[in-house]
Amino acid sequence: MVPFQSPWQDFIVFFSASYTQGYLKKCYQEKALPNSESKCYDNCYPFIYYIEHAQNYYDQAKIAPLTIKPNLLFYGFGQLIKACLLTVDCSYPESTSVLAHGVSARKRKKQQYEFLYDEIKIQKNGLLTHFAERMFHMKHLEGEKVIMRDLLLEIPELSHLFYSYFKEESFLPLSRQQETYSLSKDILSRYHMGSDRFHEYIQQKSKTELNVKEHENKLEISFNQPAISDKGVFRLNIADSQLAVSLNKDSKCFSFPEILVHYLLLYNLSMIARYETEWWLELLKTTPNSDFAFIKSFLHTTEEKSPLLIMNWLREAHPYA
């Protein structure tokens, strides 16, 4: 687990053309991609510029009013994702089909609309489906409809809001003890499983090799890899630099990588800020329900966390960097 810290300082290593060329060459050679010598040269500056452009968006988001913050963060996050894609797809963007957002928002009712219960639909082509497949080996997302509440439930920094408003627990924390983690055995009753089934289930859903030992009052978990910051199921809470396990096992978002979760939420919020101006400004001025608290808290969290998720992915996908 990588403890929380500002990731932008870590991105500085990529602002050297020679370093980035070498880094991309290793990425392409690892995957046996053709023309690694020429491709790492061709993609060196696009990679650097994606990161530089992203940082400019995030810097502006820090000082921007809440009304336009979603737009800046969405575009900045998209640039970081494109940099990641260049490490696994040396021909990106190979066609215009991968340049669309890859998501669509439904038409909203003007009255009694609540953001938490808004729905978006994943499209066949676009950035989302492309990076989900190339970065996380996720296929068959086309046509999936996702509700904002289910996405927000997968962000551990917002778990206190779900408890405050709905008395709903969404995560159980893992306590670290040197190389192992301990977890309350309450998780077994929450999942309605014995320890062996829980081990099998959580390993399959997180796509992470791990070991589970049952003790009298706790489960002891050890991971067979050093970094697990964005595997779905297990989430890093940057508020306390602690891993937590999701309790939302019946949600389709349960095993979504958190990069995917943040992208979908930022997409919808940026669309609302651009095209639903009356509702958006009314929400920010009157705060009529819990939507405002969840939106503001999410934007504050993603401003700090989404670059960290990207940096962690780069480290984990290409540990020789």
Are 95 and 73 in contact by the 8 Å Cβ rule? The answer is no
* Burial readout 43-80 (b: 16 or more C-beta within 10 A, e: otherwise): bbebbbebbebbbebbebbeeeeeeebbbbbbbbbbbb
pLDDT value for 226: 60
Alpha-carbon gap, residue 158 to 293, rounded angstroms: 10
Residue 136 belongs to what H/E stretch? helix 127-136
pLDDT value for 2: 45
What is the largest distance, in Å, between two alpha-carbon atoms of the chain?
A: 58
Q: What are phi and psi of 219, to 5 degrees?
A: -105, 140
- pTM: predicted TM-score of the whole model, two decimal places: 0.94
| Residue with tokens 């988001």, as numbered in its chain | 61
pLDDT value for 97: 86
- Of 43, 41, 73, 71, which Cα lies nearest the Cα of 59? 73
| pLDDT tens-place values along the chain, 321 residues long | 444 557 799 999 999 999 999 999 999 999 898 888 899 999 999 999 999 999 999 999 999 999 999 999 999 999 999 999 999 999 999 888 888 999 999 776 666 789 999 999 999 999 999 999 999 999 889 999 999 999 999 999 999 999 999 999 999 999 988 888 999 999 999 999 999 999 999 989 888 888 999 998 899 998 887 655 567 789 999 998 888 999 999 999 999 999 999 999 999 999 999 999 989 999 999 888 899 999 999 999 999 999 999 999 998 888 765
pLDDT value for 186: 92
Residue 279: which residues within 8 A CB-CB, separation 6 or more?
108, 110, 113, 272
